[in-house]
């Protein structure tokens, strides 16, 4: 009988290898393209805003699905970051907010 394609370990191993090659290619191509793009003040500002935009795009769906405790934790983390400008303090405040709300049974 003919074995279906993708069964056994060959299918997953091939997929992982293909993803690794594509990921490496995208990284190399990105460096090559950006080496040829003039860094105007607008481009520098856009690249400077990119990490924050990625963080927001990652966190907002989690907060929406997480309910009130996730929103309170995010607000505590954001508020702490604005006050003390320390990543670890924001992380601790966010986690403490979520834990406190969940322990109290509020959400």
Predicted pLDDT at 5? 56
Query: 60: closest CA among 70, 45, 51?
Result: 70
Task: Say if CB 62 and CB 88 are below 8 A apart.
Answer: no
- Give the integer Cα–Cα distance in Å for 5 and 53: 40
Same domain, 55 and 102: yes
Tell me: do 50 and 98 sit in the same domain: yes
Are 49 and 97 within one domain?
yes
Q: Coil, strand, or helix at residue 53?
A: helix
Same domain, 7 and 52: no
| CB neighbourhood size of 81 (10 A) | 16
pLDDT in tens, the chain (107 residues): 455 554 677 788 899 999 999 999 999 999 999 889 888 999 899 989 998 899 889 999 999 998 899 999 999 999 999 999 998 999 999 999 999 999 998 87
Q: What is the pLDDT of residue 92?
A: 96
pTM above 0.85, yes or no: no
User: Count of domains in the chain?
Assistant: 2
Q: Determine the pLDDT at residue 106.
A: 82
DSSP for 58-70, written as a single string = HHHHHHHHH-HHH
The per-residue pLDDT for 4 is: 55
* pLDDT at position 11: 83
- Domain containing 61 equals 41-107
List phi, psi (to 5°) of 85. Answer: 60, 40
State the pLDDT at residue 7. Answer: 60
Are 25 and 45 found together in one domain? Answer: no
């Amino acid at each position: 009988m003919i074995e279906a394609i993708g069964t056994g370990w060959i299918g997953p191993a091939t997929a992982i290898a293909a993803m690794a090659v594509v990921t490496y290619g995208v990284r190399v191509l990105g460096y090559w393209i950006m080496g040829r793009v003039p860094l105007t003040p607008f481009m520098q500002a856009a690249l400077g805003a990119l990490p924050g935009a990625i963080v927001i795009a990652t966190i907002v769906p989690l907060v929406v699905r997480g309910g009130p405790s996730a929103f309170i934790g995010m607000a505590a983390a954001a508020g702490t970051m604005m006050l003390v400008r320390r990543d670890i303090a924001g992380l601790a405040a966010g986690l403490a907010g979520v834990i406190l709300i969940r322990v109290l049974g509020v959400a």
